[in-house]
Amino acid sequence: MENKNFSSTSQGIMTKTALVTGAASGLGFEMALLLAKDGYKLILVDINAENLAKVKSELEGDFKVEVITLAKDLSLPNIAQNIIDDLGNPQIDVLINNAGFGLFGNFAETNWERESAMLHVHIMTTTHLTKLVLKGMIQRGSGQILNMSSLAAFQPGPLMSIYYASKGYMLSFSEAIACELKGTGVTVTALCPGPTKTAFQETVSEDTKENKITFNMASAKEVAAYGYKAMLKGKPVAIPGGFNKFLATLPRVMPRNLAASIVKKIQEKNRED
């Protein structure tokens, strides 16, 4: 484990620190890149130690920022406390809970161990990390938290039931504490992207089928930039793209069973032989 005793000041100027989970690729990497450009000291967490090392080298070389990497399995119980303890209870000014993955299939047939891991990453670890950094932010009167939700949060998701439900939790939880924190100087943003070009799809299915529907597919760079700006502005919910905003409203005006049926047909079409 590398040395994590880095200073909190640089030439007399206080430097803020950001913690990003799932930072070794995709949206997490793009968020880390934006933070590095703004001069944040970075704590990057991911299960992929090799990719983390590459990201650390790139960001330190390009932006001359301090980067700490922690290779951690965020599906493990109490891993959030383990991370904070390893870091020596640091001051966290920005927390980006980005780590996550999906799983495709009928719930009765999918792998429970994988689903349990997903629930721990999306719900338990995200919630616990938020709680662990929140009091310090409130005491300082400043702080920003971004939780990675999804367009999936707005309706049921047959064939990806646990993923959709966990993203619904992420959205509801974020909106609730954003309301609680009004006037404290601390903000919480739920980023709800639609389909995004990342390594996410590689972990969705237990077979090797790839997405066949690429309509409305955004790049990770575009989504990260939108979410980052929304976080800095303190927006409670950020949905990139006009079409995605429209899609998010549909379940409010149609029966939920109809919304679920539409999602199921899309998922089946997306992975048909």
Active site residues: 163, 167
Distance between CA atoms of 264 and 267, rounded to whole angstroms?
5
Dump the DSSP string for the chain: -------SEETTEE--EEEEESTTSHHHHHHHHHHHHTT-EEEEEES-HHHHHHHHHHHHHHH---EEEEE--TTSTTHHHHHHHHHTS---SEEEE-------S-TTTS-HHHHHHHHIIIIIIHHHHHHHHHHHHHHHT-EEEEEE--GGGGS--TTSHHHHHHHHHHHHHHHHHHHHTTTTTEEEEEE---SEESGGGGGT-SS-------TTPEEHHHHHHHHHHHHHHT-SEE--SHHHHHHHHHHHHS-HHHHHHHHHHHHHHHT--
Distance between CA atoms of 19 and 145, rounded to whole angstroms?
10
CB atoms under 10 Å from CB of 248, counted, come to 19
Pairing mode, strands 94-97 and 17-21: parallel
